[in-house]
Structure 1
Amino acid sequence: MTSVVKKRRKKIARHKYRKRLKAMRHKRKK
């Protein structure tokens, strides 16, 4: 069960990281 929770946390962290990268790219363009 713990491994499943860890995997889910990793997925959420990756999603947040991707969103942050996109935001930074938009700021750079401006």
Structure 2
Amino acid sequence: MGSLKKRRKAKINKHKRRKKRRANRHKKRTWQK
């Protein structure tokens, strides 16, 4: 059961990281304009 909890936490972190990357991409685009 402990390993399952860890896996769920990793999944959440992955999602957060992806969100950040997407935001940075948009920032770059506006900066170039």
Q: Identity over aligned residues, as a percent?
A: 47
Aligned Cα root-mean-square deviation (Å) = 0.3
TM-score between both structures, scaled by the size of structure 2: 0.87
Which structure has the greater CA radius of gyration? 2
Q: Which runs of 5+ in 2 are unaligned?
A: none
Count of aligned positions: 30
Runs of 4+ off more than 4 Å? none
TM-score between both structures, scaled by the size of structure 1: 0.95
Q: Which runs of 5+ in 1 are unaligned?
A: none
